Structure 1
Amino acid sequence: MALDVGSSTARTVMVDPAGVIVGEGRAPVVWKHPRPGWVELDPMALWQATRTTIGLALRSAGARAEDVVALGITSHRETVMVWERDTGRPVHDAIVWISHQTDDIVNRWQERGLAEEFRTRTGLRNDSFFSAAKVAWLLDNVPGLRTRAAAGQVLCGTVDTWLLWNLTGGQVHATDPSCASRTALFNLSSMSWDEELLELLDIPATVLATVQPSDADFGRVDASVLTGRPPIRAVLADQQAGMFGQACFETGAAKNTFGTAGVLTVNSGAEPVLVDGLTSSVAWTVQQQTRFELEGVVFHSGQTLQWLRESLGMVADPDRIDALCASVPDSGGVYIVPAFGGICAPHWDRRAPRLDHRAVAGQHQRPRHPRGRRGDGLPDLRHRRSPLRWRYDGFAAQGRWGRVEQ
């Protein structure tokens, strides 16, 4: 059984010994928008959605809970939550990776000259995208939380850690290096939480999860979830899991994922590599060997199609967008850069306009707009990926080892 809890959908799949998917269950992941630019989710609702998909997958496969021999977890990254150690109750809604509510903290850290510390220690950036400022925001804004954290009463984690905690009935507070390395608190050289950086940021190390190899023994599922209590034998961040699943095991092997976001990753080898405009993270630690990855993100990929459907009402069924695009000869000069949450790699401009569109109002028929958005194979995303491609030179070798997944 594999749990795949993304930004938009929670999914569980059942896989037989031959590696064939024999059952599947899905449930939506619902975001909250308490203020403009803020994005949160209910951790308990996320867990309940995951439990729902487990039941759906079992029924889809015609299997019993006792038939599950092992379980693995992959989840979206950077999103952070804090919960009570004794009760497992969240102290606040989780802060989602794309939220802007931590911008003030990021700006203060920038003024303190910490940008280079983040870059050289963690391979990431001082940016609201990553988990560090989210943890600091929760500690600063939830009444009494710093005191409770100092007393060891609360725990913190990304989505994988939250799922592990609930799957094991509150017995395991852990993560793997791929997930930890997307927090901007994990040192790529020491492969551990960066104690000096944590001190600079005033984040207590005691609230953070134990970091174990991606293929470690993460405990057993509690009988209240699966009566057979199968072992949890894998934890991997979603983008790194996509690269592993596409067999990008060699240095230079790359994959591009079109999900909520668009994410281009490349296996950069056995040592971390820093490239301007990109981030460097742990790909995985498997069989006592660690591989690293270079990564570039476009914040809105599949989510832009959702925007076309739900906000603009331009399409009722996203599956028809290709046919709609083909119904007109060209884009008519219309281009949309979906910078709803700013522009990510390689520009890293979170203050960019929420939507940058170049069009002359009233001069185009409605079907032309999706053409401008997608064209022959998503030209907008293709153009935005092209700066990333040059930064991958020497690793991806012009896409020689490229893989694409949706």
Structure 2
Amino acid sequence: MEDYILALDQGTTSSRAIIFDHKGQIKSTAQKEFTQIFPQSGWVEHDPNEIWSTQASVAAEATVKMGINGSNIKAIGITNQRETTIVWDRATGEPVYNAIVWQDRRTAAFCDQLKKDGKTDLVRAKTGLVIDSYFSGTKIKWILDNVEGARDRANKGELAFGTVDSWLVWKFTRGHVHVTDITNASRTMLFNIRTQQWDDELLELLDIPKSMLPEVKQSSEIYGETTTTIFASKIPIAGIAGDQHAALFGQMCIDKAMVKNTYGTGCFMLMNIGDEFIESKNNLLTTVAWKINGKIQYAFEGSIFIGGAVVQWLRDGLGIIKKSAEVEKLAASVKDTQGVYFVPAFAGLGAPYWKPDARGTIVGLSRGTTSAHIALAALESIAYQTMDVLKAMEADAGMEIKELRVDGGATANDLLMQFQSNLLNCKVIRPNVVETTALGAAYLAGLAVGFWGSVEEIQQLWKSEKEFVPSGDPEVIKKGIKDWKRAIHATQSWNDELPENI
């Protein structure tokens, strides 16, 4: 019988399992949503036991659907929502508190204090990150400071910390293995990505005992074997990477200056910058892309808060479409936006502007403006924002982007993809397997057990489904970019203080 790799994709709203064959094609999938917990405004939690139970059940379901048992699965690869923080008791395996999710803002005031104390440069130089409640470090501190007895137990070595990957490995191995991979470690704000070690100075700054932390491993190696009863035989767990890093690998962006953009609710862009740490001058994050066979690759990361979410707003907020899929047809019914620009800064402006107090703006409206012009301007805003981040990446890296590899829901929109290609003046490539995050985890696991012999072998499997090449009038595109900059300027100035005499 044929052999397979099982990828576990533990996301923010659901747990998924996907089985891949030797050609990197999907053979079986299963998915389960789980509860989102909002104890108060700005707080987001998950139940760690529900994360585990949904992930374990979809793993079993995907294999049962195919009529295979564990002996046909050569390895398990794990990819996960990053930064989400779990602290549990080493003896009982029980969490001391719910998982605090990456979106959770409860530690924002503490992060502001760290910035006021002048810690920004220290954190960036060591971790490649900005100080933000998004990352795990301050979430761990909050649990130790606010859960009764937690700090005492942590100081005695009784508690373990992990991101979701660590928690799943702990559960699959019944507490025998406490590890994370270097990509997940690089998102904690506690890990020095230059020395590739947990950083004592940062641990002291956040008052976190080192004994809680998992051992940091490569993204592709055998960490342990499953000892649970889900599978008939023991299966090696052999690949781990955070979701965006796994997608970069799944897209086979293995050379310098290769870039992928995931178009989801927001957009995440990662650019492979090679084996040297480069500190961003444009407020991008520097992160670890992966580490394989002792070799580390770094990446720049930039994110857009509102990508596909702008289409959901057209549907739910404005009511100009009934289903998200209708936006392409509506937008295609006009030849241009008639000078309308839409800056969807609903949650502030992200990279490279970083204006958290900015708000959404539509400029250039006239009596002739219709819902179709606004729909087209909304779609174009996704491409313009992507362009802004990619130009910042090019400037920081001193490298020119030759092509953009894309994945995520909005990539099904040909109109958007073509406009993206025109704006960037480079090829935009959509792969034939769009589940690039799970695929990346499968590749990393398969490499570690010899299911695939080399990265070069995997490269041969990567195929494009459609390529978009630049077209359109360069002068029109240039004017559009200039007008977008004016729209951004209008958005930024909305919150400026007015002089008294106006």
**TM-score (normalised: structure 1):** 0.90
Instruction: Specify the SS of the correspondent of 2:325.
Output: helix
For residues 390 and 316 of structure 1, what CA distance do their matches in structure 2 show?
34
Instruction: Specify the SS of the correspondent of 2:261.
Output: strand
2:176 corresponds, among 164, 171, 178, to 171
Instruction: Specify the SS of the correspondent of 2:390.
Output: helix
Q: Aligned residue for 2:32?
A: 27
For residues 98 and 154 of structure 2, what CA distance do their matches in structure 1 show?
17
Q: Aligned residue for 1:69?
A: 74
Q: Aligned residue for 2:287?
A: 281
282-291 or 323-332: which moved more? 323-332
Q: Does 1:356 align with 2:360?
A: yes
Q: Aligned residue for 1:5?
A: 10
Letter in 2 for 1:134: K
For residues 67 and 285 of structure 2, what CA distance do their matches in structure 1 show?
42
CA distance 1:308–1:285, shift in 2 (3 Å): same
Alignment deviations for residues 3-35 of structure 1 (CA, whole Å, 9 cap, x no partner): 112223322111123322211112225432222
Q: Aligned residue for 1:382?
A: 383
Q: Aligned residue for 1:236?
A: 241
For residues 60 and 313 of structure 2, what CA distance do their matches in structure 1 show?
30
Q: Aligned residue for 1:58?
A: 63
Alignment deviations for residues 83-110 of structure 1 (CA, whole Å, 9 cap, x no partner): 2222222222222212211111101211
RMSD between superposed Cα atoms in Å = 2.5
For residues 315 and 34 of structure 2, what CA distance do their matches in structure 1 show?
18
CA contact (8 A) 2:38 2:45 kept: yes
Q: Aligned residue for 2:439?
A: none
Letter in 1 for 2:230: V
- How much has 1:310 moved relative to structure 2? 5.5
CA contact (8 A) 1:27 1:49 kept: yes
2:329 corresponds, among 303, 323, 326, to 323
For residues 299 and 386 of structure 1, what CA distance do their matches in structure 2 show?
14
- How much has 1:305 moved relative to structure 2? 4.3
CA distance 1:251–1:93, shift in 2 (3 Å): same
How many residues are matched? 399
Alignment of 1:114-133 (within 5 A): 114-133=119-138
For residues 348 and 26 of structure 1, what CA distance do their matches in structure 2 show?
35
- How much has 1:380 moved relative to structure 2? 1.5
For residues 63 and 319 of structure 1, what CA distance do their matches in structure 2 show?
36
Letter in 2 for 1:299: F
Letter in 2 for 1:297: S
- How much has 1:264 moved relative to structure 2? 0.9
For residues 298 and 131 of structure 2, what CA distance do their matches in structure 1 show?
20
76-85 or 393-402: which moved more? 393-402
Flag structure 2 segments of 5+ consecutive residues without an equivalent.
Answer: 1-5, 409-502
- How much has 1:157 moved relative to structure 2? 1.2
For residues 367 and 39 of structure 2, what CA distance do their matches in structure 1 show?
34
CA distance 1:28–1:321, shift in 2 (3 Å): farther
Same amino acid, percent of matched pairs: 34
2:404 corresponds, among 393, 402, 405, to 402
- How much has 1:279 moved relative to structure 2? 0.7
2:344 corresponds, among 337, 341, 357, to 337
Alignment of 1:153-302 (within 5 A): 153-276=158-281, 277-302=283-308
Greater relative contact order (CA < 8 Å, ≥ 6 in sequence): 2
Alignment deviations for residues 315-355 of structure 1 (CA, whole Å, 9 cap, x no partner): 44333332233345555736251433x43322334x325x5
Alignment of 1:295-314 (within 5 A): 295-306=301-312, 308-309=314-315
CA distance 1:137–1:314, shift in 2 (3 Å): farther
- How much has 1:364 moved relative to structure 2? 6.7
CA contact (8 A) 1:339 1:352 kept: no
For residues 191 and 141 of structure 1, what CA distance do their matches in structure 2 show?
30
Q: Aligned residue for 2:435?
A: none
Larger Rg: 2
Instruction: Specify the SS of the correspondent of 1:211.
Output: strand
CA distance 1:361–1:230, shift in 2 (3 Å): farther
Alignment deviations for residues 69-124 of structure 1 (CA, whole Å, 9 cap, x no partner): 21011112111121222222222222221221111110121122111110111111
For residues 307 and 77 of structure 1, what CA distance do their matches in structure 2 show?
26
Question: Which structure has greater helix proportion?
Answer: 2
For residues 129 and 269 of structure 2, what CA distance do their matches in structure 1 show?
15
Alignment deviations for residues 48-72 of structure 1 (CA, whole Å, 9 cap, x no partner): 2212321332234332233222101
- How much has 1:301 moved relative to structure 2? 2.8
**TM-score (normalised: structure 2):** 0.74
Alignment deviations for residues 256-313 of structure 1 (CA, whole Å, 9 cap, x no partner): 1113431111111111111121111111110111111111011333445455555666
CA contact (8 A) 2:170 2:176 kept: yes
Flag structure 1 segments of 5+ consecutive residues without an equivalent.
Answer: none
CA distance 1:330–1:31, shift in 2 (3 Å): farther
CA contact (8 A) 1:214 1:284 kept: yes
Alignment of 1:40-119 (within 5 A): 40-119=45-124
Q: Aligned residue for 2:436?
A: none
